[in-house]
Homo-oligomer: A and B are copies of this chain.
Amino acid sequence: MAIYKAPLRDMRFVLDEVFKSSEFWASVPALAETDREVVDAILEESAKLNENVIFPLNRSGDEEGAQFSNGVVTTPKGFKEAFRQYGDGGWIGLGADPRWGGQGLPKTVTVMTDEILFSANPSFALYPLLGIGAALAMSQHASDELNDFYLPKIYSGEWAGTMCLTEPHAGTDLGIIKTRAVPAADGSYAISGTKIFITGGEHDLASNIIHLVLAKLPDAPAGSKGISLFLVPKFLANADGSLGERNKAAAGSIEHKMGIKASSTCVMNFDSARGWLIGNVNEGLAAMFVMMNYERLSMGIQGLGASEVAYQSAAAYARDRLQGRAATGVQSPEKPADSLLVHPDVRRMLLKTRAHNEAARAFAMYTSRYLDLSKYGEGEAARAGADRVALLTPVVKAFLSDKGFEGCVDAQQVFGGHGFIREWGMEQLVRDVRIAQIYEGANGIQAQDLMGRKVVKNKGVFVASFVAEMREQAARLNAPELATLKAAFVAAIDRLEGLTRTVIEASAKNPDEINAAAVDYLHVFGFTAYAYMWALMAEAALPKKAEDAFYADKLTLAEFFVARVLPEMEGRARAVEAGAGTMMQFSEAYF
């Protein structure tokens, strides 16, 4: 069985020692009341609830799956009670505005509880997560009337939420959706169409489900400029909040999937369902992107969460499993064989995964600071925060989920044949985490967003600002113990900066160069960001290395990262340099 303990010590290291979050919160007036001790209590409680209640449902949830019958979805045993406990504990509203019953905690806190939840049970995690995302989009775009009515119930877990974008013929390309919204006399709309891949479109965890649906008005312009966003509840609610008539929004079936089987993925049929406009007509995509960006960060954290469980489980297995003898001589003569940990290649897989995970955790926290600044900061700080978030979101989503998948696959490999057997739980981690690379914009789309919109379109100004900040950090790494790390970090920054210029120049001549470079460039960016995180972590650990092995080990892992993990970046960089080359020469018939 997979094992999991929330990595609180590492989280506190990142929170306090690397990022000095108390100082950060104190510097932002709207966050000044964030209490470090309360945060600690929250982390402890989150660990307890997830380790003891939600994690144990992960394996059984995979075996049982979400079941569909006659339009009704039944979640696996225990999910309903756990969801109730999760809602009652205030976890859904942890980061929400107190005006609607939220706890008002910053992203720099909820990023950690999100990670714990995704480690514990990614299928379960999606049910509250979609509600939070829907509520977030509403809170920024819907009327006060809608928000005051719906949000408190979503944040309490009484009601749940979804986002309905994809249609059978329209995934990435939302401009060609066919769902229609016809205005009614009372100001509502009649929504008709079919949506697919709707996470939590139907289930038994909440008494009502609030769907946010993209649709087009009869006279809407073609393409993505003609999309509006609607709120479509499963049950129409009475003015007092009690449930009224069933709306004509129903699940037609659920998908049978590779993983996250306990999460219901629904085909949703809207048949003149009553809905209400959110935000302005034809500006639905912008409102939906509020939700998408929130989800995208979460999907990166899903990758990290899975990879953390994978690491912990594989490390424990490697300690216990006796196979072969150390090349340098027998280590445990009293036993029939030495542990797997005497074999360097087993350590290589474990340490690579751990080095990725620790960098990912720091990078998610780093990005969350900018999310907090963009939301709670003022003036220039808020604007700069939003720009940084725009730049980093696709990287967090894609790089963390790609490396999370890699970590799960490597950890599975440590188990040998047992890794392929269901009861050990490792194969489930691989199957479950795989979706994080696909949904909420496949990672190729994230890369295109980064390379096209966030880099080339603004001629690299976002990257330049990030690079300048990294150079400042590199300049501070003057301790002789960090010389190798510093050199590697500077080399990575140089490479990223050079490639940014290369692609901007090449794309001026051939617009295909953007998409041709995108994925490899995103990986170069991700590795550089991870090198930055290791620079920050090493800087924080160095002064304490003599007092505690925890810090000395951080420095050693930073060295390992530079020596054995970071080199992959060079292959990616050379692929970027090679450009579109011959790719587009092949005829479509060739494929």
- Residues of chain A touching chain B, judged by Cβ–Cβ distance below 8 Å, are 166, 169-173, 175-176, 196-197, 255-259, 315, 318-319, 322-324, 326-328, 336-337, 339, 341, 343-351, 405, 409, 412-413, 416-417, 419-423, 427, 430-431, 434-435, 437-439, 442-444, 447-448, 510-512, 514-516, 518-519, 549, 553, 556, 559-560, 563-564, 567-575, 578-588, 590-591
Cβ–Cβ contact B345 & A447, under 8 A: yes
Chain copies in the assembled complex: 2
- 15 A–B contacts from the bound complex (CB under 8 Å): A171-B323, A171-B416, A257-B420, A319-B591, A328-B511, A344-B512, A344-B583, A347-B586, A348-B519, A413-B442, A420-B435, A431-B431, A556-B582, A569-B571, A571-B572
Q: How far is the CA of A556 from the CA of B511 in the complex (A)?
A: 21
* A336-B176, A553-B590, A575-B567 known; A347 vs B584 contact (CB < 8 Å): yes
Cβ–Cβ contact A417 & B344, under 8 A: no
Contacts of A585 in B (CB 8 A): 556
9 nearest A-B residue pairs (beta carbon): A567-B574, A258-B427, A571-B571, A344-B516, A563-B578, A315-B591, A327-B511, A568-B571, A173-B323
Given contacts A347-B586, A563-B578, 4 further A-B contacts (CB under 8 A): A344-B512, A416-B438, A417-B438, A568-B571
Q: How far is the CA of A564 from the CA of B510 in the complex (A)?
A: 18
Q: How far is the CA of A438 from the CA of B415 in the complex (A)?
A: 9
Cβ–Cβ contact B413 & A439, under 8 A: no
Contacts of A255 in B (CB 8 A): 420-422
Q: How far is the CA of A512 from the CA of B343 in the complex (A)?
A: 8
Kindly report which residue of chain B lies nearest to residue A172, judged by CB atoms.
B323
Query: Which listed residue, B420, B444, B564, touches A434 by the CB 8 Å rule?
Result: B420
Cβ–Cβ contact A345 & B448, under 8 A: yes
* A257-B422, A512-B344 known; A351 vs B586 contact (CB < 8 Å): yes
Contacts of A559 in B (CB 8 A): 581-582
Q: How far is the CA of A124 from the CA of B375 in the complex (A)?
A: 56
Within the complex, what minimum Cβ distance (angstroms) separates A484 from chain B?
A: 10
Contacts of A584 in B (CB 8 A): 344, 347
Cβ–Cβ contact B570 & A582, under 8 A: no
Contacts of A343 in B (CB 8 A): 444, 515
Contacts of A339 in B (CB 8 A): 588
Q: How far is the CA of A327 from the CA of B257 in the complex (A)?
A: 33
The residue in A322, A417, A447, A560 that gathers the most chain B C-beta atoms within 10 A of its C-beta is A417
Q: How far is the CA of A327 from the CA of B512 in the complex (A)?
A: 6
Q: How far is the CA of A437 from the CA of B438 in the complex (A)?
A: 23
Cβ–Cβ contact A416 & B442, under 8 A: yes
Query: Which listed residue, B344, B556, B571, touches A515 by the CB 8 Å rule?
Result: B344
Q: How far is the CA of A512 from the CA of B344 in the complex (A)?
A: 7
Kindly report which residue of chain B lies nearest to residue A568, judged by CB atoms.
B571
Contacts of A196 in B (CB 8 A): 417
Cβ–Cβ contact A417 & B563, under 8 A: no
The residue in A169, A258, A448, A563 that gathers the most chain B C-beta atoms within 10 A of its C-beta is A258
Kindly report which residue of chain B lies nearest to residue A168, judged by CB atoms.
B418
Within the complex, what minimum Cβ distance (angstroms) separates A373 from chain B?
A: 32
Kindly report which residue of chain B lies nearest to residue A171, judged by CB atoms.
B416
Q: How far is the CA of A563 from the CA of B575 in the complex (A)?
A: 7
Cβ–Cβ contact B512 & A328, under 8 A: yes
Kindly report which residue of chain B lies nearest to residue A346, judged by CB atoms.
B444
Q: How far is the CA of A569 from the CA of B567 in the complex (A)?
A: 10
Kindly report which residue of chain B lies nearest to residue A448, judged by CB atoms.
B345
Within the complex, what minimum Cβ distance (angstroms) separates A301 from chain B?
A: 19
Cβ–Cβ contact A437 & B422, under 8 A: no
Kindly report which residue of chain B lies nearest to residue A417, judged by CB atoms.
B197
Q: How far is the CA of A444 from the CA of B512 in the complex (A)?
A: 38
Contacts of A413 in B (CB 8 A): 437-438, 442-444
Kindly report which residue of chain B lies nearest to residue A325, judged by CB atoms.
B173
Q: How far is the CA of A416 from the CA of B446 in the complex (A)?
A: 13
Contacts of A430 in B (CB 8 A): 258, 434
* A257-B420, A257-B422, A328-B511 known; A571 vs B575 contact (CB < 8 Å): no
Q: How far is the CA of A545 from the CA of B224 in the complex (A)?
A: 44
Kindly report which residue of chain B lies nearest to residue A338, judged by CB atoms.
B173
Q: How far is the CA of A318 from the CA of B360 in the complex (A)?
A: 32
Q: How far is the CA of A388 from the CA of B232 in the complex (A)?
A: 67
Within the complex, what minimum Cβ distance (angstroms) separates A538 from chain B?
A: 13
Cβ–Cβ contact B578 & A564, under 8 A: yes
Kindly report which residue of chain B lies nearest to residue A511, judged by CB atoms.
B327
Cβ–Cβ contact A423 & B571, under 8 A: no
Q: How far is the CA of A344 from the CA of B430 in the complex (A)?
A: 27
Q: How far is the CA of A570 from the CA of B350 in the complex (A)?
A: 22
Within the complex, what minimum Cβ distance (angstroms) separates A8 from chain B?
A: 17
